[in-house]
């Protein structure tokens, strides 16, 4: 895996990890995580793909701009990365959860560069009022007390019970990513997610081939709800992975990559 840094229009820098050769696939991480959540899947995918993992603003080594950004800004960052590394090639964009919100914006803003969309453990619809208020509360807590105080409570919803019992190293890595996330970056990401666009009414207009992946132990984006909205996509496949929670590619990288490779090959 090699790393590079791409300067953005705002004078900030985007950190990017890359490995492998072949068709380019851009992997977008969830909240409040960084490129490390993709490493096990990237090892497998890089056998056949050129894997590109940007870190979203303020996470990992990517720097945070001073003013509030939107999910659309993050999609434009992804396009900057694609342009830098893929010139005029079309790419596959695969986003998990918050990364899925960015991937949906990417197809809306830069769909001409997209060969295939992969939406993992995510949703197109807006938050309930209560969930939105929870985000703003977490943003305030993260600013005042840091990422661990704000977001450690997410842990049991990110990693499923099966993995919590059997894969302590996975749980440790997720804890480390939450602890090492910058409080201001956590706050800005929560505010950006609170104001994201509602893609549910727009799903029927997405004709790009799309794979939707869920985990049967994911309590944040449950399988049944995910399958229901997938049916509104005109050109989509759905797969629900067994024994997997919200972080499918980290919890079960082999199953995740098999489902992804099968869908992309068909
Ligand atoms: C994530 O995993 O990225 C978060 O669950 C996204 C969210 O808070 O909606």
- Cβ atoms of 126 and 104 closer than 8 Å: no
Whole-number pLDDT of residue 12: 85
10-40 pLDDT, tens digit per residue, is: 778 999 999 999 999 999 999 999 999 999 9
Measuring from atom 6 of ligand 1, which residue has the nearest CA?
Answer: 98
pLDDT: is 7 or 245 the higher one? 245
Whole-number pLDDT of residue 88: 85
Q: Is the CB of 59 under 6 A from ligand 1?
A: no
Give the chain's mean pLDDT. 96
Rounded distance, CA 119 to CA 97, Å?
Answer: 8
Q: Ligand 1, closest atom to CA 30? A: 3
User: Cα dihedral sign for 80, 27, 55, 230?
Assistant: positive
127-168 pLDDT, tens digit per residue, is: 999 999 999 999 999 999 999 999 999 999 999 999 999 999
CA of 88 to the centre of ligand 1 (A): 31
Overall pTM surpassing 0.85 (yes/no): yes
Q: How many residues does the chain have?
A: 266
- Cβ atoms of 18 and 32 closer than 8 Å: no
- Cβ atoms of 196 and 103 closer than 8 Å: no
Q: Is the CB of 31 under 6 A from ligand 1?
A: yes
Find, among 43, 30, 56, 58, the residue nearest to 174 by Cα: 30
DSSP 64: -
């Amino acid at each position: 895996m090699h790393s590079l840094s791409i300067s953005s229009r705002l004078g900030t820098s985007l950190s990017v990890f890359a490995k492998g050769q072949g068709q380019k696939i851009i992997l977008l991480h969830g909240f409040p995580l960084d490129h490390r959540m993709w490493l096990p899947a990237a090892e497998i995918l890089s056998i056949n793909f050129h894997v590109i993992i940007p870190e979203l603003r303020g996470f990992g080594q990517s720097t945070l701009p001073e003013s509030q950004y939107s999910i659309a800004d993050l999609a434009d960052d992804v396009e900057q990365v694609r342009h830098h590394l893929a010139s005029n090639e079309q790419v596959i964009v695969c986003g998990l959860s918050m990364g899925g919100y960015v991937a949906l914006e990417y197809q809306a803003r830069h769909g001409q560069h997209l060969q295939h969309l992969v939406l993992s453990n995510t949703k197109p619809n807006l938050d309930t009022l209560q969930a939105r208020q929870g985000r703003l509360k977490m943003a305030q807590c993260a600013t005042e007390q840091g990422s661990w105080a704000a977001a450690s409570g997410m842990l049991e919803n990110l990693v499923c019970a099966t993995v919590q019992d059997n894969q302590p190293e996975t749980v440790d890595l997720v804890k480390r990513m939450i602890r090492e996330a910058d409080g201001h970056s956590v706050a800005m990401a929560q505010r950006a997610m609170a104001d994201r666009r509602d893609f549910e009414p727009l799903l029927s207009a997405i004709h790009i081939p799309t794979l939707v992946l869920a985990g049967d132990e994911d309590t944040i984006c449950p399988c049944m709800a995910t399958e229901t909205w997938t049916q509104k996509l005109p050109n989509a496949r759905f797969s629900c992975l067994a024994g997997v929670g919200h972080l499918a590619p980290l919890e079960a990288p082999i199953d995740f990559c098999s489902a992804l490779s099968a869908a992309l090959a068909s």
